């Protein structure tokens, strides 16, 4: 029987975007069906495999994306979403593979389900791009999205604090306005895709907050204070408005978490 660690590693080292989607979905199905041994007998790679395209650039070198309803603007918007979701597949796989042995079967299953969701999101957006005459890889993409994984590879608490509880939570804040703007441009299909992503991301953030809270209680730490400490230490950007408080509350992120650190350079 293939081990869960080997199956996750294989998916992480799948470079082609469509093949990674298929491998991730198959992995999640095999886990649910009990076809994978719960053993962590191989290490996760430091970096996942990536397709030859898109070209990855530093944030300062990325072209400015113009808002508006032009064809080029829409393609750039959906391409940026595709890249975020593609990297999110690897982040969820790495979470399960790197920390699952320490955290247990429930944790592993939760983040494999996140990986499957992210794969589905990517497939929806890639299909959307193709209706616009484009595809993933046609434009350059943000090269720094894996930095949070490198920064937090040593500690599951740090990984939970930064990836689901900051990066994915940020999606809860900004997606509604983007969805409404896409709908106002007459793109109802695009708005439905973004609503589906928003609904799923609430659950993903909730996984992060619940496992982080459980970890802190096990370690005898105050959940809110430890999250604030880890964000200050590992998140090298700003945590600033707007905040979608209703979605955050649904995901277990009360206002208490960011009290005293929002709008600060961390």
Mean pLDDT of 157-176: 96
User: What pTM value is reported for the model?
Assistant: 0.94
d(CA 189, CA 130): 13
Burial letters 98-129, b for 16+ CB under 10 A, else e = bbbbebeeebbbbbbbbbbbbbbbbbbbbebb
**Integer CA distances (angstroms), 157 to 97, 99, 112, 160, 219, in order:** 15, 10, 18, 5, 10
pLDDT at position 207 over 60: yes
pLDDT at position 61 over 80: no
Predicted local confidence at residue 67, as pLDDT: 57
Q: Which residues have CB under 8 Å from 165's CB, separation 6+?
A: 205, 208, 209, 212, 227, 253, 257
Every domain of the chain and the residues it spans: 4-36+64-265
Name the least confident of 62-71, 91-100, 123-132, 242-251.
Answer: 62-71
Structure-model confidence comparison of residues 57 and 62, the more confident one = 57
d(CA 148, CA 127): 28
Tokens standing for residue 253: 């992120």
d(CA 236, CA 266): 6
Query: Greatest CA span in the chain, whole angstroms?
Result: 54
The secondary structure of residue 62, as a DSSP letter, is S
Mean pLDDT of 153-182: 96
Nearest to 18 by CA among 158, 148, 104, 127: 127
Predicted local confidence at residue 65, as pLDDT: 61
Mean pLDDT of 109-136: 98
Q: Predicted confidence band at 58 (pLDDT cuts at 50, 70, 90)?
A: confident
Mean pLDDT of 13-36: 98
């Amino acid at each position: 029987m293939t081990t869960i660690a080997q199956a996750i590693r294989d998916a992480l080292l799948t470079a082609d975007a469509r093949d990674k989607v298929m491998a991730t979905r198959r992995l999640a199905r095999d886990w649910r069906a009990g076809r994978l041994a719960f053993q962590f007998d191989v290490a996760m790679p430091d970096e996942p495999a990536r397709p030859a395209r898109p070209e990855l650039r530093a944030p300062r070198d990325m072209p400015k994306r113009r808002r508006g309803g032009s064809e080029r603007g829409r393609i750039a918007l959906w391409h940026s979403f595709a890249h975020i979701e593609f990297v999110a597949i690897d982040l969820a796989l790495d979470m399960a593979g790197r920390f699952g042995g320490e955290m247990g079967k429930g944790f592993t299953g939760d983040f494999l389900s996140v990986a499957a969701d992210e794969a589905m999101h990517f497939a929806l957006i890639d299909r959307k791009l193709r209706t616009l005459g484009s595809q993933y890889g046609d434009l350059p993409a943000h090269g720094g999205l894996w930095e949070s994984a490198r920064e937090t590879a040593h500690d599951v608490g740090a990984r939970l604090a930064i990836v689901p509880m900051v990066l994915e939570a940020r999606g809860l804040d900004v997606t509604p306005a983007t969805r409404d703007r896409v709908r106002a441009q007459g793109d109802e299909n695009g708005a439905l895709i973004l609503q589906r992503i928003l609904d799923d991301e609430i659950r993903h953030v909730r996984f992060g907050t619940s496992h982080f809270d459980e970890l802190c209680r096990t370690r005898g730490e105050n959940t809110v204070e430890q999250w604030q400490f880890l964000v200050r230490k590992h998140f090298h950007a700003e945590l600033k408005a707007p905040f979608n408080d209703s979605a955050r509350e649904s995901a277990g992120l009360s206002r208490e978490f960011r009290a005293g650190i929002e709008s600060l350079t961390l």
